[in-house]
Amino acid sequence: MSQSKIKEIQEFVHQGYKLAAVKALKDASGVDLKQAKDIIDDLDLDNTIDLNARIASAKSHYSESYERISATSDADGSNVHFYYQKGNVKEEVTPGHPMWERVKAQYSHGWEGAPEDIVKAREPFRKAVLEMEAQAGVSGGKREDTLFIKKKSFNIFEGIKWYFILALAACIIYMIWSIFNRA
């Protein structure tokens, strides 16, 4: 974006015309309305940000093909949440989510050979993955009694019932056959 356009946008923000600044930024850079509003809000708070770098960041992060898996926690490592973002849509990931396997692959392994501070920082996320799977009833990557897959235990009476029904049907057919063959 040209320096004159940047100056114009900064003047709009300085004068309090944030809506005009959002429109000018949207028209000049090609970012969408939400991204332009976020950039102008940041510019209003900190007048020293580099608009071109911020626009490039917004375009690369919010394109439709952009995918990201992230995690957040409190400072002490509690209250862990995992997120999946595709384009502008960001959603929380739990063990029932289709992206759970990717989250598990990213956060559950140990990172052997990594610096100690990185291993220590990732430890709450590894523990959270294991705890969330335990709460959801997932063990060793295999689900038990999920919505779509049910394991049936073998019931001896279930098998006997079907043999009895088949034997009864055979007897009825034999009786009907013998009645019609006598005549």
Buried b (16+ CB within 10 A) or exposed e, 153-170: eeeeeeeeeeeeeeeeee
Domain ranges of the chain: 3-61, 67-143, 153-183
Residues 43-67: tens digit of each pLDDT: 888 777 888 888 887 776 556 677 8
Confirm whether pTM is higher than 0.75: no
Residues 113-152: tens digit of each pLDDT: 778 888 888 888 888 888 888 888 765 555 454 555 555 5
Distance CA 21, CA 102 (A): 40
Q: Which amino acid is at 91?
A: E
> 159: which 2 tokens?
């098998």
> 45: which 2 tokens?
């708070």
